[in-house]
Structure 1
Amino acid sequence: MGDDLDNEWWLTEKEQTEKDADKEQEYDVSNSKGKVKGTGNKKRSYDDTVAVAEETSEQAKKKKKPKKKKTEEIEVKESAGQWSDVVGSLRDYFKGKIPVIEFEDLILSEENFLPHNEYLNDLSTYLTCTIRKWKKLSASDELKTKSPIVLVITSAAKRAVDLNRQANNFKGKCTSAKLFAKHMKISEQSKFLSKNKVHFAVGTPNRVSSLIDQDALDITAVKYVILDWNFRDLKKRRMVDIPEIKKDLLNFLKDNVLPTILNGSRLKIGIY
């Protein structure tokens, strides 16, 4: 009897056999689907893990990879100007622009220059190393009005202010003059120079030339003219690289400094 409980007794033997076969087929199909489903899930889980790992690796590479600069920086190798650079600039600029006789006068020798600023020291250090008799000169009773002992030529007003400050350790307690357009009117500068014995002056070539033309500044008694030759602005330009400043500078040298030297003055040119 126990064996007959699972059978449907009213069916014939043939009908029971067919029904049992149908159940076995359903079981096999159901079991097969379960296996495929399970296998599929495992495969997708593995693929997802690999994809996440690859994505994380790519992100790490991107973080480590340095960013490219949008614009390339202008690199200029700093080198100290020498006396031959000044003479070369003079001759190149005025070649074919002035008579041959004047052009021949543009020749200066190393003896007309102070040692150049080989190690690109600050202004106080450079002046201390090259002008050894400063204390004696600044204390001399022979100092005249309108004629500073040291005249520094630079490109702009702001730079002139900076240089005047940089020279404090060298200057000590002495009278200074700022000779550029944004500090005082030219009439005020002329009045100051005529009333004071100035030891140290710093200015732009245009304003200094204008003061000389008005007899407010006497360069014949100046001992040292220091050119701020090596300084570069934000665009990496020296004053000899800026057309309008270059014109003023080289004309100042040709019209005022060179004639003073050729007339027998012991004036020395420094290249800072």
Structure 2
Amino acid sequence: MGDDLGNDWWEQRDTTETSAGEEDREEDREEDREEDREEDREETKQPSDKAFPHGKKRKSGAENPRPAKKTALKSQEACFLALEKKEDEEEKKPKKRRKKKTITDVLALSEPKPGCPGDLQSLVLEHFKNQRSVIELEEMNLQNSCFLACNDLTHSLSSYLKEICPKWAKIQNKHTEKSSVVMLIVCSSALRVIEVIKQLTTFKGEAKVLKLFAKHIKVEEQVKLLQKSVTHIAVGTPGRLTDLIKREGLTLSALRFLVLDWNWRDQKLRRMVDVPEVKGDLMKLLDIGITKACREGKVKVGLF
């Protein structure tokens, strides 16, 4: 039987076995290559924990940006923080307010002008316009006939008083009424009152002069002084003069001359009417009877 198959059978068998073995080996190699590729993919995606024994895994390229970009972001954040800090500091800093001009600044740049009747007239109307009716304002309005000649800034006090009251010696001798005066001089402060009294030396003659202000002197004491003897000239501040008139310690029955220390300026270049408190007291003084006496022709007003 072996002889009948001949040599071709063996050759065919060997050929078949050889091709089958080659196919098996080829399949094994293909499987090995596929496994290698699979391992390479796994390693690329995520490194194993064994490569990092301390539990710290290296960040992938997506999670760990390039150092240059990170530095740029940090610098931008620093700039933004610096700008915000600067803005906060500027907000916290008190804003510089523009300095308002004071009355001293304004008066320092203006030339001194002598007072005139229109100045007092407009001042009275402006002060009482919101407090009085139209009819009352007309009654308070001082006519030009109520005023004496005004100081043109060339007179001393004595020379001015001699001009507006040339017959002073005769008027002085006729005055015998207590608690009243013939001439009332109104100043802005106690210090100015003392200065004015010193300047009266060449004018007053034998007349008695009394200082009436609130500094260190009680109003009751001044009432007693007025009642004690005849006083010809009183020099005082508007606030104290108003109190004395309201208390009837000083009457206006013998008053003939009201002189306002209008043009004098203090160290801050303020006149008597530039100080709100003094101006208010002056308006009260005029309102309690002097304005009425002026309109009746009993009292004349002079602006020194």
**TM-score of the superposed pair, with normalisation by structure 1:** 0.70
Question: Is 2:176 the counterpart of 1:148?
Answer: no
Question: Is 2:145 the counterpart of 1:111?
Answer: yes
Q: Deviations over 1:32-88 (max 9, x none)?
A: xxxxxxxxxxxxxxxxxxxxxxxxxxxxxxxxxxxxxxx999333111101111111
What amino acid sits opposite 2:281 in the alignment? D
Identity of aligned residues (%): 35
Question: Is 2:296 the counterpart of 1:267?
Answer: no
Question: Aligned partners of 1:226 and 1:103: how far apart in 2?
Answer: 22
The equivalent residue for 2:69 is: none
1:210, distance to aligned residue in structure 2 (A)? 0.2
The equivalent residue for 1:257 is: 290
Structural RMSD (CA): 1.8
Deviates more, 1:96-105 or 1:147-156: 96-105
1:184, distance to aligned residue in structure 2 (A)? 2.1
Secondary structure of residue in 1 paired with 2:149: coil
What amino acid sits opposite 1:159 in the alignment? R
The equivalent residue for 1:78 is: 112
Equivalent runs, 1:216-227 vs 2, <5 Å? 216-227=249-260
Q: 1:185 aligns with which of 218, 229, 248?
A: 218
Question: Is 2:163 the counterpart of 1:122?
Answer: no
Secondary structure of residue in 2 paired with 1:188: helix
What amino acid sits opposite 2:119 in the alignment? D
- Contact preservation (8 Å) 2:209, 2:231: yes
Secondary structure of residue in 1 paired with 2:125: helix
Question: Is 2:156 the counterpart of 1:92?
Answer: no
Q: Deviations over 1:136-187 (max 9, x none)?
A: 01111x4211111110001000000000111111102221110001152111
Secondary structure of residue in 2 paired with 1:220: coil
- Contact preservation (8 Å) 1:220, 1:265: no
The equivalent residue for 2:261 is: 228
Question: Aligned partners of 1:73 and 1:213: how far apart in 2?
Answer: 35
What amino acid sits opposite 2:226 in the alignment? L
The equivalent residue for 1:237 is: 270
What amino acid sits opposite 1:179 in the alignment? L
The answer for unaligned runs of 5 or more in structure 2 is 1-104
Question: Aligned partners of 1:268 and 1:183: how far apart in 2?
Answer: 31
- C-alpha change, 1:136 and 1:236, in structure 2 (3 Å) is same
- Contact preservation (8 Å) 2:148, 2:164: yes
1:94, distance to aligned residue in structure 2 (A)? 1.1
1:135, distance to aligned residue in structure 2 (A)? 0.5
Secondary structure of residue in 1 paired with 2:281: helix
**TM-score of the superposed pair, with normalisation by structure 2:** 0.63
What amino acid sits opposite 2:303 in the alignment? I
The answer for unaligned runs of 5 or more in structure 1 is 1-70
The equivalent residue for 1:166 is: 199
What amino acid sits opposite 1:271 in the alignment? L
- Contact preservation (8 Å) 1:128, 1:170: yes
